A and B are shown apart, each in its own frame.
Chain A
Amino acid sequence: EAGVTQFPSHSVIEKGQTVTLRCDPISGHDNLYWYRRVMGKEIKFLLHFVKESKQDESGMPNNRFLAERTGGTYSTLKVQPAELEDSGVYFCASSLQSTGNSPLHFGNGTRLTVT
């Protein structure tokens, strides 16, 4: 079974540019999550999809971030325009259910560097 895959693994962009990160969850997992770790900080929740619907987007930092999951399969996270403080590692995770006893499976992340 393929795990959660994220693309690209690294991205270096200039301030003001746009970047789109992609996440392919484990097949059959309706729940998809985005997290990020910025330099020196803890891993923080961004948002949660159930199929194509946003269940919880309380962690999205501002309106420069747009997450989509059209068709309820893969998801994209777009940052536009990127700022220096957006640098960090963005993780995607998926789970079969969103109940407390359902583990999350994480991808290896996309390392974003904004210069």
Chain B
Amino acid sequence: DAKTTQPNSMESNEEEPVHLPCNHSTISGTDYIHWYRQLPSQGPEYVIHGLTSNVNNRMASLAIAEDRKSSTLILHRATLRDAAVYYCILRAPNTGTASKLTFGTGTRLQVTL
């Protein structure tokens, strides 16, 4: 599986934007970039995914580098409820054994008042 590298932890002030980086230099041309987050005592929660173009949804934005070797998850206005571990995961396009998600250690985001 192509691997991702994320900082272990980040801090943000409430109501400020947060940029969570992810490096994936060995990404294949067809891997999707997925982001999930896990709040305390909950299961992982899907945030956003993309392939080549930047993506926006109600939760966040995903900025993908032109060479696709890195991406950034953007939370436009962090709230205390955004404190979680954020996982950047590459997912192969095909079905079968390649479709599973491989979780790393993620980035623990702390949000303070």
Write the residues of chain A forming the contact surface with B, with a CB cutoff of 8 angstroms: 4, 31, 33, 35, 42-45, 48, 50, 55-56, 58-59, 91, 93, 97-101, 103-109
Contacts and interface: CB of A to CB of B under 8 A. Distances in A.
A59 B32 CA distance: 22
A45 B102 contact: yes
Interface of B: 30-32, 34, 36, 41-46, 49, 51, 91-97, 99-105
A84 to B, nearest CB: 22
Given A98-B95, A108-B41, A33 B32 contact: no
Most A CB atoms within 10 A — which of B31, B34, B97, B101? B101
Chain A to chain B: the 8 pairs with minimum beta-carbon distance, closest first: A106-B43, A100-B93, A43-B103, A103-B46, A100-B32, A98-B99, A45-B100, A100-B91
Contact of B97 (A35, A44, A56, A93): A56
Contact of A45 (B32, B101, B105): B101
Contacts of A101: 32, 49, 51, 93
A108 B42 contact: yes
B46 to A, nearest CB: 4
Given A33-B100, A55-B97, A100 B92 contact: yes
A75 B92 CA distance: 25
B44 A91 contact: yes
A42 B104 contact: yes
A104 B34 CA distance: 10
B31 A100 contact: yes
A58 B103 CA distance: 15
Contacts of B103: 35, 42-44
Given A55-B96, A99-B95, A105 B32 contact: no
Given A33-B100, A45-B101, A48-B100, A103 B34 contact: yes
A69 B112 CA distance: 43
Contacts of A59: 100
A107 B101 CA distance: 15
